[in-house]
Structure 1
Amino acid sequence: MIVRIMGEGQVRLSDSRLTELDKLDDELLAEMENGDGPGFRRTLHALLTRVRELGEPLPDDSLEPSDLILPSPDATLEEVQALLSDDGLISGG
Structure 2
Amino acid sequence: MIVRIMEEGQFDLSEADLDLLNSFDSTLERAIETGHEDEFRAALHDLLARVRHDGKPLPLDALQPSEVILPPSDASMEEVRAMLGDEGLIPDTPDIADRT
TM-score (norm 2): 0.90
Counterpart in 1 of 2:21? 21
Q: State the shift of 1:87 in Å.
A: 1.3
Distance (whole Å) between structure 2 residues aligned to residue 15 and residue 92 of structure 1: 10
Secondary structure, aligned partner of 2:51: helix
Q: State the shift of 1:42 in Å.
A: 0.4
Tell me which stretches of 4 or more aligned residues in structure 1 moved more than 3 Å: none
**How do 1:68-87 residues align onto structure 2 when only pairs under 5 Å count?**
68-87=68-87
Counterpart in 2 of 1:57? 57
Q: Which amino acid aligns with 1:86?
A: D
Confirm or deny: 8 A CA contact 2:18 2:92 kept in the other structure. no
Distance (whole Å) between structure 2 residues aligned to residue 92 and residue 4 of structure 1: 16
Percent sequence identity is 52
Aligned length: 93
Counterpart in 1 of 2:2? 2
Q: State the shift of 1:86 in Å.
A: 1.5
Q: Which amino acid aligns with 1:66?
A: S
Give per-residue Cα distances to partners, 1:63-91, cap 9 Å, x unaligned. 10000000000000000011101211111
| Unaligned segments of structure 1, at least 5 residues | none
Q: Which amino acid aligns with 1:42?
A: A
Counterpart in 2 of 1:47? 47
TM-score (norm 1): 0.97
